[in-house]
């Protein structure tokens, strides 16, 4: 809508064409839910434009912005890269990352069911597979998502990571089998396909779920994060 802050959807960045397309489609889905909203993309790694450049460019044009991290937890990129990008721009604020959120946990549940896993079977274990971070806040966010998923899953739900945090996904899968699981399914806690999702196939699980995107619930979460953060902008910044 005219006069609303620009929604800057800030993703990690990927070399995967499918991953790039799905992240772009997430912003388009948000615009379909809210006609007239201006959105643009930014990234913290791998591909341009950087979030710092996008925020600086909008500030130079006198346009307020809300940077929404298209990320699933609050690690270094949220607390350092994005925070620094908005720090010097009085007309920009940063929102919370997309996760954790009950709607994303519901998407995870549906993706698991799509693999043929039975949520009512207490012997079907789930390993929630996240990219991983050395930031304890990011790990805590993943653990909160696992707790949300447990509420709809009869079997055990544990976590595994691709890097930095422990246990690694293959170790978490092995531990689930050792604990007595008859079937172990990996829930890919990732927004889009790419290098890490490709690696999950070798983790030793019976099945691996698809990433979260595309799904309309993710676009609704994106807009909710935007709305919550825009309240932190100075009132004058919202004037056309």
> What does the pLDDT look like over 102-143, one tens digit per residue?
999 999 999 999 999 999 999 999 999 999 999 999 999 999
Q: How much is the average pLDDT of 141-170? A: 97
Q: What pLDDT shows up at residue 88?
A: 77
Separation of alpha carbons 211 and 30, rounded Å: 18
Above 60 in pLDDT, residue 62? yes
> Minimal CA–CA distance to 71: which of 62, 63, 57, 81?
81
Separation of alpha carbons 109 and 49, rounded Å: 33
Helix, strand, coil share (%) of the chain residues, nearest 5: 40, 20, 40
What is the chain's Cα-based Rg? 18
What does the mean pLDDT of the chain come to?
93
Q: What pLDDT shows up at residue 239?
A: 35
Cα distance from N-terminal residue to C-terminal residue, the chain? 10
Phi-psi domain of 78 (left: phi exceeds 0; alpha: psi -120 through 50; beta: other): alpha
Above 80 in pLDDT, residue 235? no
The pLDDT-based confidence of 47 (bands split at 50, 70, 90) is confident
Q: Which residue has the tokens 């201006």?
A: 38
For residue 127, give both structure tokens: 């390993």
- Hey, how many other C-beta atoms are within 10 angstroms of the C-beta on 136? 10
Above 70 in pLDDT, residue 19? yes
- The CA distances from residue 71 to 43, 61, 90, 101, 152, in Å, are 11, 27, 23, 12, 23
The pLDDT-based confidence of 12 (bands split at 50, 70, 90) is confident
What domains can be seen in the chain, in order of their start residue?
A: 6-99+215-238 (3.40.50.1400), 102-208 (3.40.50.1400)
Separation of alpha carbons 124 and 153, rounded Å: 9
Above 60 in pLDDT, residue 51? yes
The answer to whether 104 and 191 are in contact (CB under 8 A) is no
Above 50 in pLDDT, residue 160? yes
């Amino acid at each position: 809508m005219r006069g609303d802050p620009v929604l800057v959807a800030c993703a990690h960045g990927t070399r995967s064409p499918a991953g790039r397309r799905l992240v772009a489609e997430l912003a388009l889905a948000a615009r379909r839910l809210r006609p007239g909203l201006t959105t643009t993309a930014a990234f913290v790694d791998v591909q341009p434009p950087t979030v710092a450049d996008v925020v600086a460019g909008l500030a130079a044009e006198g346009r307020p912005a809300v940077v929404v991290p298209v990320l699933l937890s609050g690690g270094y990129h949220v607390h350092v890269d994005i925070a620094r990008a908005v720090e010097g721009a009085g007309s920009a604020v940063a929102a919370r990352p997309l996760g954790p959120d009950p709607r994303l946990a519901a998407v995870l549940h549906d993706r698991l069911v799509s693999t043929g896993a039975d949520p009512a079977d207490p012997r079907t274990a789930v390993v929630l597979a996240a990219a991983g971070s050395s930031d304890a806040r990011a790990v805590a966010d993943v653990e909160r998502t696992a707790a949300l998923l447990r509420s709809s899953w009869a079997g055990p739900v544990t976590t595994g990571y691709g890097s930095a945090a422990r246990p690694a996904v293959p170790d978490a899968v092995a531990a689930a089998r050792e604990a007595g699981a008859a079937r172990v399914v990996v829930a890919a806690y990732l927004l889009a396909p790419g290098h890490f999702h490709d690696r999950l196939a070798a983790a030793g699980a019976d099945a691996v779920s698809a990433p979260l995107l595309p799904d309309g619930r993710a676009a609704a979460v994106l807009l909710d994060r935007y709305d919550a953060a825009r309240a932190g902008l100075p009132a004058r910044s919202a004037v056309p």
